[in-house]
Structure 1
Amino acid sequence: MNSYHQNLHSAIVGSLQSLDIEEQNLKSQVNASMFTLYHAQGATITAEQNLAAAKDSFKFKSTTQSEAVKDSNVSINLLNCATQSNQYVKQSTTNIAVCAANVQISANAIVRLASDIGSIYSILNAADFDSDIYYLARDARELINETAYDAELASQLAMEASMLTAEVSAATVLDMAKATNNLMASVLKITTADFDLASQAIATDSAAVSAVRSTEKLDEGALEMVTIAYSATKSAYALTNRELNLDLLVTTSNTDALSFTVDFNTIKSPFPLEKLVKHPMYPVERYYLIVVKEKKKQTFSISNVERLMNSTELIPLAPTDQHHITQVVNVFSSLKESTDVVALVDSDNDPIGLGKSYVVFVMAVFSDEYKRTINCYDDYLSAPSQTFTLASRLESIPGEVIQVSAYDEKDLSDEERRLALAFKNEQLKQRLGEDTIVDYNYVMTFSSQKSADTELEYRCMLLPFSLDVSDQLLTKESLEFLVRDEIAKLEEIAAQLDPEIARLEEEVYTEALKLELLNKELDVLNQKLADYAKEKEPVDEQTAAIIQSLKEEQKLIGTQLKQLQDAHKGKIVQLDFLKEEKEKQTGLLSMVAPAKPGFLFNVPIAEQVYADSYTVAKQNIKAKDSDRLQWVAFFGPDTTDNFGNRLNEHEKYLPVILSYSRASADSETAFVNVLSDMANTDYFPH
């Protein structure tokens, strides 16, 4: 290879390598920013849930505190009544005792008086019977006896009243009222403290929500910026690769892990088309593909290829006259049992396998005639493609087959009861000696295709419903839309409308200047005609001709001014319409429908979810469906969501399943983990 070709090839390889390294660095930054944003969104969702719980608690404690205030007021009134009653009862007891004593004294006096009158009556009965004084004494004795009886009866009633008054337990009622009031005061103090704490919790949680929202938006902006930079670098690499490296592209298959597709543009003929008609000559005789280990791409050169000529390390392509070649390469190695097909090998003659990183080179062998014509006998070797890895993509569980229902042991089959018991036993082992565990709340069932891969587990997670948070969070779909669609569509809108807007703006500006000049000319003509009209002397023929010329010019300028004003107004209306249309189309791009689960969640994030936040499903080997494998998982009251938070009452959750390979570290890159179909999975209420 001559020095010019060598320097050119080195420059191309260096440019692509630097762009590839920058792309990988930006991809690492995207992943780091993505995890940062994910945790920030988790903090936002948690803060939103805490604020909602604080508001519910405040509502309950506000009602409780209001009732406590009412009860405290009743208790205070009761204490006042009991205190007043105790005072009145004490006073009544004293008064009735004094009254009873006075009545008793009066009764004793009346009894003594009755005794004296009885003695008088006895004397008169003996000494002066049947006289007037006798009859008066008899009547007096009868009256005083009745009075004495009434006095004794009054004394008895007074004593009984004193006894009954003394029996009134006003002091006991007062003590009970005091105790009740003290207890009610304590209750009011507790409820007031709880109410104040609830109020403070709302203020604290509101401040926390504002803080985490601010952090989340900053992290979201950082992710969008680095993602756009990553996309720009990918575009720069693609453009450089298209212009300088045959647009060489390697894509792997999502359905067949043992195949990949190589696309590249064929080399253009250096001869003019009219000369090719007379002397048809396409310089390339044959194309070859070479698969090289990623770690050796820097040292692989044309000299390595020349040593491999006519060997199995080269993949020959059929001659073609097309401008673009798409070649599907099937890998037949020990990974796919076959005895009648030669295994595909790399440049080191090693079988191509899953989980290993490779690049592809394209070699173009020029014809001898072409080499003699240009007096250069070097063949062409492209720069390496971007790194690719063959991997088996695991099955994504369809959302329609994922079912979550309330746990009821009566509705379970014997095998499901056995699996539930196995779940409990595993949890008991993890609880460090605890010998009791509560029953489950929910059971999740789903099915999968039959697979020969035994090193596979299904991690079942519950994602909180976040589509109704006050600020819509960035999702994987909206981020992809921003990079993949929004920028391209913004550029498309700009390419479609900006030239017309710029043309109209220039014409409107030019016409505005013309209108200003015409108005000035018309003002000058009007002033001249006004000056001629002020002259009192009859005008001569020359002056009349000048006036007539000015009037004709005035009429012409007025007509031009009217036409230009109408056209100017029409263009202003058209310009405003185009600007509004651009703003409308640009605004519609931001109206991306929220996608489940409403926050950033993808396979790399799901792979990093803590073990405490997911449940590994178990196979129901006795299920009746023979075409698909049946799986079951159980969730108890201690289950947490993907962020590690306990499940909240009256919240909705999205069941998500990560198909995860448990292969060894040496072969873990041979498999691609996938998430279930979240878009077609239903939320379930907790």
Structure 2
Amino acid sequence: MSSYNENLHSSVVSSLNTQELELQSVEAKLEASMFSLYYAQGARITTAEELEITTAKYAFEKNVHEQAIIDSDLSTNVLESANNAKSYTSRSVTNTAVAAANVQIAANAILKLASTTGSIFSIINAADFDTDIYTQSNKANVLMNDTAYAAEQASQHSMEASASVAEVTTTTLAAKATVTDTSIKDLLSVVTKQFDDTTTLLSTQSAELATANTKEKQAEGVLEDYSVAYESTDIAFELSNSELNLDLTVTTPITIGNHDSYVVSFSPYLSAFSEQKSSTDTDPKDTNQPVQDYYIMLVENSKSATFSMNDAEGIITGAYANRYAQIVEADKIKNSAGVITGLKKKIYIAGTNSATHPVLQDSEGKALVLGKEYVVVVFATFKTAYKKIINTFDDYLSAPSKMFMLENQLNAVFSNAIQPPTDAQVINFGVFENPAYLVDSEGEEALDYIQYRCVFLPNNPNLVRGLLTDEELKYIDAQVSDKMKLDNMYTEKIATIQSQLDALKSDSKEAKTDTKSAKGAGAKKVSKTSATTISTTERTNLLSLQLKILTKQKSDALKDQEHLQPGFFFNLTTAEQIPAGSYTPAVPGTDTLLAYLLRSITNIGDLLDKLGEEKVTELNAKVESTIPKKTSAADKEQFINDIITLIEGAIESVIDGKEKTLEKLLVDFAQFIIELMLLAEGYKFYSKQVTLAAETTDNFGNRLIGNNAYIPTVISISKNADETVNTQFTNALSDFQHTDAFTYKDPFADATKIIAYPKQTTV
């Protein structure tokens, strides 16, 4: 390579490398700002939740404090009354005793007088019986006897009154009233202190909430700044890559499942001028196409800085066929004039190397390892005529592409499959996963290799009020969302199905042509397709249905890529870092495959109840037995068609009107067909459940609050003890933005219920 070319190549590599490093640096800062914002919002929401609890506590303690004041006033009045009763009772005892003694003296005098009067009457009775004086003395004697009896009764009553008054326990009453008043005053003191402390805490937390709001807004601003910086840096890199490096791009698949291939695309190397044509050149379209052959090579990212032209030439001249992929005619993208406008090649990491299935090893002959960082380079050999024109025989080596890695994609739990808590505080959901991901190195099933972590996102507008506005959320999401990934994912799926449809249509045309020829030759009519084989028409209809579903899903997915709930920033990046204690691992559930599939068609309603337990069990057995053991395209299509026919018959048996067929329902509820496609790919259904407990927390580590709303969200995450295994997987997050929230019912709400005491009038 000439010194000019070496310097130019070195300059291009250095420029792109610097920009990529800057991009990685900004990306790291962007990710750090995501966490800063997430935790700032967590602090804000946590403070708001604490303030909510303190406010409820304040209201309760305010009632208690008011009641304690009323009780204190009452106890003061009772003590005063008891002391007054004690004093007056003591006086009453003394006065009653004196009165009783005086009454007793008077009674004794009266009795003595009555005795004397009786003696006088006895004398008169003996001496002057039946005379006037006898009559008067008799009358006097009767009156004195009555008076004496009354005096004796008065004496008795006065003694009893003295005894009764002496028995009144006003002293004990006063002592108890004193103790009670002291206790009430102590209680009032404690309650007052608690109320004052809560009032102070309420004030402190209100100030902390204001501070948390400020920090959250600062973190939000930092994220927005880095979002803009990342976007501009990424655009700058893409522009530089486009202008200086053939727009060399590696696209990795993002569909659910095994990722065993990637696509390399780049622009053709164009001459800076129109070179003179040699006598052997006959194609006018090649005038500005100086390259004879393009070769794609895979290099470990750590070794890309030292990979040189000599290394590339050595691979080609050494005939290391598995270390390069040559661009062939089928890889060239041409315009209507036949001019090459781009080149694209799909490369595999395993299998048999062939023209239609190129398997590429890295530059050292090692197979690509999932989760490992790689780059690709393009080596172009020029035509001899072009080399003569530019007067140099150097070929061309591109700068390394942007770093990429291949990872298997875990499946995200379908949001509609997450059922709200039952009376037993259990949340049920199901997931379709590749069983190969759930086995250890010896092939033994180990379900904890892939963990499904359930987190509960607060969805209380009163708590998140004042955080990101809808416009801000949409703006930030536009910078860090998976919109491009979604677009690529659906484009890839749609292109695959469309190619299958085109192939079927092509085969159908050929078959019709053959049939016409056969009829012309007097051949017999071809027999119908057997009942056990899916016909071309059925396959076409099925693929057309899938294409319609995917097209609608793509439109809906791209349209709905904005935060609808819970009103704060949350994505897979932050979800992956939620610590233990802030999520609840799901355990095996009891749901059946059929029940889960039928719930995907939500507008059928109570179909399971209408079918009955026996019928559902029978259908579930048929569904599971129909799942193909092989994975050929025909087996997959046969399986999907059989299940559609099977369940369609069950639906029509319990739903009035033949117009409500399954096929018409599927367009609106496309998840059902997607799940069938996963089953046909060899995925297995796993039923999961999560039980809410008193210690269950939200994603910020705060215990769930009664009567508050939460969004159940599931993180599909690899948690193998071997970190190199975890890097081979891309984790997944359920669509929390469109998952129904539920209101948490505190099982201990009755034990902590606030009692509203009636207000009483102070005596």
The answer, yes or no, to whether TM exceeds 0.5 is: yes
User: Which of these residues, 479, 483, 492, is aligned with residue 483 of structure 1?
Assistant: 479
Contact 1:114 1:145 in 2 (8 A): yes
- Does the Cα contact within 8 Å between 1:331 and 1:352 map onto a contact in 2? no
Q: CA shift at 1:19, angstroms?
A: 0.9
Deviation of 1:389 (Å): 0.6
Aligned counterpart, 1:465: 459
Matching residue's letter, 2:296: L
Alignment of 1:224-623 (within 5 A): 224-255=224-255, 257-271=259-273, 280=287, 282-309=289-316, 311=319, 312=321, 313-318=323-328, 320=332, 322=339, 324-333=341-350, 343-406=359-422, 408=424, 441-454=425-438, 455-468=449-462, 469-473=464-468, 478=474, 480-481=476-477, 483=479, 594-620=563-589, 623=592
Aligned to 2:196: 196
Give the 3 Å change call, closer, same or farther, for CA 622–339 of structure 1 in structure 2.
farther
Q: Is the 8 A contact 1:332 1:338 kept in 2?
A: no
1:128 Cα deviation (Å)? Answer: 5.7
Distance (whole Å) between structure 2 residues aligned to residue 280 and residue 41 of structure 1 = 60
SS of residue in 2 equivalent to 1:654: strand
Output one character per residue of 1:34-68: Cα deviation in whole Å (capped at 9) or x when no partner: 22332222221111110000001111111122122
Note closer, same or farther for the CA distance 1:135–1:677 as it changes in structure 2 (3 Å cut). Answer: closer
**1: distance between equivalents of 2:398 and 2:84?**
108
Instruction: Tell me the equivalent position of 1:673.
Output: 731
Instruction: Give the Å deviation of 1:231.
Output: 2.2
Whole-angstrom distance in 2 between the partners of 1:616 and 1:337: 42
Offset of residue 609 of structure 1: 2.1
Q: Conserved in 2, the CA contact under 8 Å of 1:450 and 1:629?
A: no
CA contact 1:477–1:595 (8 Å) conserved in 2 = no
Secondary structure of the 1:166 match is helix
Deviation at 1:471, TM superposition (A): 1.7
Match of residue 68 from structure 2: 68
Secondary structure at the aligned position of 1:403 is classed as coil
Secondary structure of the corresponding residue to residue 569 of structure 2: coil
CA–CA distance in 1 between the matches of 2:580 and 2:696?
11
Shift of 1:388: 0.6
Spell out, residue by residue over 1:212-249, the C-alpha distance to the aligned partner (whole angstroms, 9 max, x if none). Answer: 22222222222322332222221211121122222222
The aligned residue for residue 140 of structure 1 is: 140
* Contact kept? 2:456, 2:710, Cα under 8 Å: yes
**What amino acid maps onto 2:309 in structure 1?**
I
Secondary structure at the counterpart of residue 704 of structure 2: coil
For residues 412 and 729 of structure 2, what CA distance do their matches in structure 1 show?
13
Structure 1 Cα separation of the partners of residues 23 and 410 of structure 2? 27
2:347·2:359 contact (CA, 8 Å) conserved in 1? no
Alpha-carbon distance in 1 for matches of 2:234, 2:460: 32
Distance 1:137 1:456, change over 3 A: closer
CA contact (8 A) 2:298 2:360 kept: no
Match of 1:460, as an amino acid? Answer: C
Seen in structure 2, the aligned counterparts of structure 1 residues 599 and 170 have a Cα distance that, compared at 3 Å, is: same
Provide the C-alpha distance between the structure 2 equivalents of 1:481 and 1:181, rounded to a whole number of angstroms: 64
Q: Is the 8 A contact 2:564 2:738 kept in 1?
A: no
CA gap 1:7/1:30 in 2 versus in 1, 3 angstroms = same
Are the aligned partners of 2:410 and 2:732 in contact in 1 as well (CA < 8 Å)? yes
Q: Is the CA contact (8 Å cut-off) linking 2:710 and 2:743 kept in structure 1? A: yes
Shift of 1:479: 5.7
Distance 1:138 1:637, change over 3 A: closer
Gaps of 5+ in 1: 409-440, 486-591
Summarize the Cα distance change of 1:124–1:5 in structure 2 as closer, same or farther, 3 Å threshold.
same
Q: Which has the larger radius of gyration?
A: 1
Amino acid at match of 2:727: T
Q: Measure the CA separation in 2 of the matches of 1:474 and 1:384.
A: 41
Relative distance call for 1:124 and 1:629 in structure 2 (3 A) is closer
Deviates more, 1:345-354 or 1:277-286: 277-286
Per-residue Cα deviation, 1:362-386 (whole angstroms, up to 9, x for no partner): 2332221122122122222221110
481 and 647 in structure 1: CA distance in 2 versus 1, 3 angstrom threshold: closer
Instruction: Say if 1:356 and 1:474 are closer, same or farther in 2 by CA, change over 3 A.
Output: farther
Q: Give 3-state SS (helix, strand or coil) of 1:644's partner.
A: coil
- What SS does the aligned partner of 1:65 have? helix
Please give the secondary structure, in 1, of the residue aligned with 2:727: helix
Q: Which moved more, 1:276-285 or 1:287-296?
A: 276-285
Contact 1:220 1:474 in 2 (8 A): no
Which deviations, in whole Å up to 9, do the C-alpha atoms of 1:188-214 show, x marking residues without a partner?
223222222221221122122222222
Shift of 1:253: 0.8
2:715 paired residue number: 658
8 Å contact kept, 1:259–1:328: no
SS of the residue 1:447 aligns to: strand
* Residue pair 2:72, 2:181 contacting (<8 A) in 1 also: yes
Could you report, residue by residue, the CA deviation over 1:63-113 in whole angstroms, capped at 9, with x for unpaired residues?
A: 122122222222222222222222222222222222221111112112222
Does the 8 A contact of 2:275 with 2:288 survive in 1? no
Q: Give the count of matched residue pairs.
A: 547
Contact kept? 2:64, 2:191, Cα under 8 Å: yes
SS of residue matched to 2:738 = coil
Farther-moved stretch of structure 1 (399-408 vs 624-633) = 624-633
Q: Which residue of 2 aligns with 1:98?
A: 98
Distance in 2 of aligned mates of 1:356 and 1:272 = 42
Q: CA separation of 1:322/1:672 partners in 2, compared to 1, >3 Å: closer, same or farther?
A: farther
Aligned counterparts of 1:391 and 1:219: Cα–Cα separation in 2: 31
SS at match of 2:270: coil
The verdict on how the C-alpha distance between 1:84 and 1:281 changes in structure 2, with shifts beyond 3 A counting, is closer
Inter-partner Cα distance in structure 1 for 2:725 and 2:128: 148
Q: Name the CA distance, whole Å, in 2 between partners of 1:95 and 1:281.
A: 136
The DSSP-based 3-state class of the residue aligned with 1:360 is strand
**Alpha-carbon distance between aligned partners in 2 of 1:145 and 1:615, rounded to the nearest angstrom:** 100
Distance in 2 between residues matched to 1:606 and 1:17, nearest whole Å: 31
Give the Å deviation of 1:395: 0.9
Q: CA deviation at 1:407?
A: 5.7
Q: Give 1:184 shift.
A: 2.2
| Higher mean C-alpha displacement, 108-117 vs 233-242 | 108-117
Aligned 1:47-126 pairs, distance under 5 A:
47-125=47-125
2:699 corresponds to 1:683: no
SS of 2:312's equivalent in the other structure is: helix
1:667–1:152 distance in 2 versus 1, CA, 3 Å: closer
* Identical-residue share of aligned pairs (%): 38
When residues 381 and 140 of structure 1 are mapped into structure 2, their CA distance, relative to the original with a 3 A threshold, is same
Match among 689, 710, 721 for residue 632 of structure 1: 689
The aligned amino acid for 1:354 is: L
